[in-house]
Structure 1
Amino acid sequence: MKPLAVLTAASAAGLLVLASAAPASAAGNAIDPGDSLYALACDNVAPWQLYGVDAPTAGMTEIGSGTPAESEHYGCSYQAAYNPATGVSYYIQTDMGYSGLATIDVTTGVSATIAEFYFPNGEFPESPQIQAMAIGGDGSAFGLSDGRLFSIDLETAIVTYIGETIDQTYAFAWDSVTGGFYAVDDSNELYQIDVTDGSVVDLGPIVFPNEEDNNYYTYSLQFDEAGSLWLEVDFDYPDGYDSSLWSLSLSALDATVYSDLTTVAGEPVYIESLLIIPGTPVALAATGFDATPVMVGALGLLTLGGAALLLRRRNAAA
């Protein structure tokens, strides 16, 4: 686990360091027309907060208040997944050892906690820390936990062990174009996972610019309907971490395109969970964003002030 890092006004110098090391800010790729890109917060300022994301710029708008319908846990949101079979979106809620399944209404931003993940496991039941989840076209859901692959019952959060698989990954998603499941590990290696037994095919490293000067940590993966990969990636710099948005294709893992840091009204917001929903584009109210790739239900811009306590989840040396 990485230590908690506090982002305050005093960290402006650190942000300047990042600005000098990160790629120049420029418009990134657009998401596939009709698809919508969202993000879920990972901080203690707005627990379970949902944002609409403008793909080319990584600018975000708040959707709802972030208050869950029913939950006693308020922490970080891990990998989200859309169920094409039902139209329901899910994500992982985490909080001080708790790992549970929740739904998110992307129109209102309201979450509903289903239950803590539970593995019956005969005489040795456990509540596994599910670190990433993905849902296939038929509605079958799967989760990754410390090198193990599980199937997930989306009604109860009960999981069933399938097999051993790659270790240390928080980014997991299904691609509607290839029909395959993919994951990115903590070394930014991309794998295709066979969800019948957990076996993998190593597809190679995802390459980011200036890796000799910057550390990159991929924490979320989604595919749009054109088959493009969308990543939430943390930069490692002397005074902390910031979230950023990148895109690429399966055919060119060394051609990553940088959108920008994830921000609301120009202020950094820390996230570790992306969500893509296919569908018809809906125009936003005047926010300064391109309406085509942006989301349903985006409200006014959220202005973040004061300290934002950022929750980190693994050691940078891992």
Structure 2
Amino acid sequence: MSTAIEFQNVSKSFGDNLVIPDMDLEIKKGELFVLVGTSGSGKTTSLKMVNRLEEPTDGDILINGKKAKSYPLQQLRWSMGYVLQQIALFPTMTVAQNIAVIPEMKKVSKKEINRLVDELLTKVGLDPGKYRDRLPSELSGGEQQRIGILRAIASKPDIVLMDEPFGALDPLSRTTLQDLIIELHEELHNTIIFVTHDMDEAIKLGDRIGIMGDGKLLQVGSPEELAQNPASDFVYDFFHSSANKLGYQIPISRVVQVEGYTTPQDENIAAVQLPEDATLQKAFAALSDYNYIEVLSKQQEFLGYLSRKQVFQYLSSQ
């Protein structure tokens, strides 16, 4: 898989304050990559350097193999979607007008824009007939954030940047929009960098996760890799405090009660066998090498298949 975004020895200072000392990172095309860390860890600054809202003090960021600073600034930013926690919809523009901002700048025809707006609103469960002419002030917080997401993807950018977009929402809206991001990513196959301080959110969303602290990228890996091989006590504590809160020690039979069993589409799947009283911690470790668990009874009878996706869905819903 080719690289969409690459940080090469990137540093960032604000005056005498060194925020990012030296960052190297490769993000693959089509990847949903999550940067997670505590407040002040440098994750948002790192994100903003990708579309040059902040310029690196030293080093280079490459976009599709070309230095970001070599792109015309407008072209660079038009090629990326950007979603903020503050949403920042234009208050005097309708829902349809907000979604259409970038396509109109790119001279897409009015007929195509109208079709696109209706299609996108339908995709996120908002009736175009009811919503396209509303103003942002007439929407709930969750609805406004859906429009913010649609505005970011309306021009079908290859890269989407998301800076703690759900931090101000209630838990139900947050879960709904997390599911929406996963759906849209699976459909569009774009590259997403998603910034959050919430490890639960990172586990649910990330193909890979980068954990940051004090401006340093402490470890990068899949959720399974971080669970099995934390690079430091900080990473271990940051990851497992979330995992324990989610019920990491409960048996996989609890997941089955909620998620049910699944039927793998591929007959030649590779699966690991675990008893129904095995903990989620053991399941998590096993799923680094397998996509499915063959759940066995205490008498070693086969009960059914449980997928990696089901385990993560259960964890993220707790």
User: Which has a greater percent of helix?
Assistant: 2
Higher relative contact order (CA 8 A, sep 6+): 1
TM-score by length of 2: 0.28
TM-score by length of 1: 0.28
User: Which has a greater percent of strand?
Assistant: 1
- The structure with the larger Rg is 2
